[in-house]
Amino acid sequence: MSPIRILVVDDSVVIRKLLGDTLSSDPDLQVVGSAGDGRIALAKIAQLQPDLVTLDIEMPVLNGLEALKELRKSHPKLAVIMFSTLTERGAAATLDALALGASDYATKPSNVGSPAAAIAAIRSELIPKIKALCAGPSKTLKSLPPPRPLAPVKRPANRRIEIVAIGTSTGGPNALAEVLPRIPRNFPVPIVVVQHMPPIFTRFLAERLAGRCQIAVEEGSAGVTLSAGRSWIAPGNFHMTVARSGLSWRLNLNQDPAENSCRPAVDVLFRSVAAVYGANALGVVMTGMGSDGVLGAQRLREAGGEVIIQDEASAVVWGMPGLVYASGNADAVYPLEQLGPEIVRRVANSHAPRPAAATANLVAIGSHAK
């Protein structure tokens, strides 16, 4: 298999050298060129035909956002990873870039203490993202284990969905911007979300989504009482959980060890939702790299809850939802544009009046739709 061809774009000679040497040390990657500003980058893309571009945001002549706009006109499918600083300005610009069509982002290593630590940070964060984005849908599917039969689950016929829990990662900001605006203002249950993002980024994401949604969207904070028609996004570097508090339910935050190399982790949230809400929960796993959410989805279904996932064709990376599917814990699979309406439909149906005779039955769920 040919190595993944990468163009490194950054106005810092030091960063270009660091990225070039670190990425080239992986036998699956090949840095075919570099550029110090967006205009040079556009010319080199046409010349070198890379598989992926790492793109700095703040550059002279043509900055990263301007270059991305032009790049998407000529190369709509080219994988682009924004390489930005962990600052408020960097977070805002990164979310702008994702909205303009960037595939993903990685944060520049800063205050790590040594070049060796910076190299380690690039290897642990950037290289896996490059490989995941360039794997392609067919390769992603082939890399997953064969799907297990859907595990049968007994659910009370009169169960009501009382909470929706969403987990996502790579491609998640744009996926959430597709799903959450489709939730109506009078939605009868709360929504809790884990999006893998560092601190600062999650606050900006919540603020941006709030401006597009009918329901309220905010970053989660400890002690908040859950209520209908509102959504909370786990803050970066904190696990978010739900807990019963008298007659209400509240959010809790903690900094327990990372799970699946993530904090916040989808598994942590899903486990708490399963423990507190049992069968009255709907889990949703969307685009993302890695396996976070697989064990949590299993726990939700063991408690009698439902789990639906995003399909491979509409996912930026089908790692998280694909592994839930392979584990036999996806009740149904939907393209991204159908997830919002499907969430609304399932919740509404669960709250609709039922014939009295139906409440005595237990329903065995043993098939799924794709």
pLDDT in tens, 4-50: 999 999 999 999 999 999 999 999 999 999 999 999 999 999 999 99
Q: Is the pTM of this model over 0.85?
A: yes
Could you say which of 11, 104, 292, 311 is catalytic?
A: 292
Q: Which of 75-89, 155-169, 184-198, 351-365 has the lowest mean pLDDT?
A: 351-365
Is pLDDT of 1 > 80? Answer: no
Among candidate residues 51, 196, 272, 314, the one labeled active-site is 196
DSSP3 helix / strand / coil % (the chain, rounded to 5): 40, 25, 35
What token pair was written down for 207? 């603020």
Catalytic residue of the set 34, 84, 103, 169 = 169
312 and 168 share one domain: yes
State whether 295 and 259 are in the same domain.
Answer: yes
Q: What is the pLDDT of residues 211-227, one digit of tens each?
A: 999 999 999 999 999 99
Does 56 qualify as catalytic in the annotation?
no
142 within domain boundaries: no
The answer to whether residue 291 is catalytic is: no
Q: Are residues 271 and 349 in the same domain?
A: yes
Residue 7, token pair as written in the block: 């163009």
Q: Does position 356 have pLDDT exceeding 60, yes or no?
A: no
CA distance 238 to 204: 16
Same domain, 182 and 300: yes
In this structure, the answer to whether residues 307 and 165 fall within a common structural domain is yes
- Annotated catalytic residue 239: no
Task: Report the domain count for the chain.
Answer: 2
Residues 173 and 123 in one domain: no
Which range of residues forms the domain containing residue 296? 153-365
pLDDT value at position 361?
43
Task: Classify residue 269 as exposed, middle or buried by CB count within 10 Å of its CB (0-12, 13-18, 19+).
Answer: buried
Q: Which residues does 354 contact at the CB level (< 8 Å), separation at least 6? A: 157, 158
Q: Are 83 and 108 in contact (CB under 8 A)?
A: yes
